[in-house]
Amino acid sequence: VSSGATIEQVLKNAANSNDAPLIIIAGTNNMSNKSTEVFYSRLEGELRTLGEKQAVCISTVPRRYDIHYNDPIHNDIISVNNYIRELTVRLSNIYLIDLDILRRFHFTTHGLHLSYRGKKKLSYMITNILRDINKGTRDSVPLPPRPTTTPLIVKDVNSHLFLEGKIKISEVNFKDAIKQFCNNKEVAFAHCISADLHDKKNMSAGVATIFKEHFGKPSSLLTQSLTYQKLPNGATVYGLVTKSKFFN
């Protein structure tokens, strides 16, 4: 435990740990220091190395209730957390402690640190994950959940291609659809995307601009043909990689 430590310092200390399960609780110091690039440049390699000798449990970055909701730091936290979730899926022996399930009452009045209730909840989460590790079980990436909310405008399609009307097509303005469903954790969106995620012009045209506005850009590929994003207590977004460059 090191108060005020950055993720670089935490990873350096973790490299000297023994073979017992390792718990890494990510904080917001890198967010405050505007140095989130370390998550993308070093985290995967460090976790891969650590996972070769021991089970590693890493948390998402906790929310910042002490900062105005319009502050850009919240988007940075969402992006980093999506990347952490992705790594726990792709890398072996790496497990996720998802702090997005914590609510406002799990934090102190100030809003930065966990309260007693939050720390107690976190301890239960860690205990449950360690129990799963001991049993040799692991959660997998959830499949896109089936939406339960009625679409804005719906028409049935009675065709064998659409399973005899069991699939419904909504004819709506996509911005309106995203606004309606983005905070519904039972909803998943999907769209096509190019593989050059770090190009500044990636997601700069068409419906991709709407996804970027509401969900940000995916930090990296989940597989060669798929990206995965998740809003805290909100919708999931899957990106189907259909081309290597945005201009193809």
- The answer to the question of residue 77 being in a domain is yes
Helix H segments across the chain?
A: 7-14, 29-32, 37-51, 73-90, 116-135, 174-181, 208-215
CA-wise closest residue to 57 among 102, 10, 101: 10
Same structural domain for residues 74 and 191? no
| Contacts (Cβ under 8 Å, ≥6 apart) of 157 | 165, 167, 168, 169
Same structural domain for residues 124 and 31? yes
What percent of the chain is modeled with pLDDT above 70? 78
Write the CATH number for 40. 3.40.50.1110
Range of the domain at 228: 174-243
170 three-class SS:
strand
Give me the pLDDT at residue 30, please: 57
- The answer to the question of residue 185 being in a domain is yes
Residue 11 pLDDT grade (very low, low, confident, very high; cuts 50, 70, 90): confident
Give me the pLDDT at residue 159, please: 41
Same structural domain for residues 229 and 131? no
Give me the pLDDT at residue 232, please: 84
More confident residue, 127 or 35: 127
Give me the pLDDT at residue 248, please: 63
Same structural domain for residues 125 and 186? no
Could you say which of 110, 135, 160 is where a domain stops? 135
**Is 80 exceeded by the pLDDT of residue 186?**
yes
Give me the pLDDT at residue 125, please: 92
Give me the pLDDT at residue 106, please: 92
Query: What separation in angstroms does the CA of 100 have from each of 47, 92, 231?
Result: 21, 22, 9
Asked if 77 and 150 touch (Cβ cutoff 8 Å), the reply is no
Give me the pLDDT at residue 34, please: 53
- The answer to the question of residue 82 being in a domain is yes
Same structural domain for residues 109 and 190? no
Mean pLDDT (the chain, rounded): 78
Same structural domain for residues 40 and 112? yes
- The answer to the question of residue 36 being in a domain is yes
Domain total in the chain: 2
- The answer to the question of residue 167 being in a domain is no
Per-residue pLDDT reduced to its tens digit, 12-60:
777 777 778 888 887 766 565 555 666 677 788 888 888 888 899 999 9
For the entire predicted model, the pTM comes to 0.53
Same structural domain for residues 114 and 215? no
Beta bridge partners of 238: 190, 228
Q: Does an H or E element contain 240, and which?
A: strand 236-243
Give me the pLDDT at residue 144, please: 40
Per-residue pLDDT reduced to its tens digit, 148-184:
444 444 444 444 444 455 666 677 788 888 888 888 8
- The answer to the question of residue 168 being in a domain is no
Same structural domain for residues 11 and 130? yes
Could you say which of 135, 161, 191 is where a domain stops? 135
- The answer to the question of residue 169 being in a domain is no
Per-residue pLDDT reduced to its tens digit, 51-96:
888 899 999 989 888 888 788 888 888 888 888 888 888 888 999 9
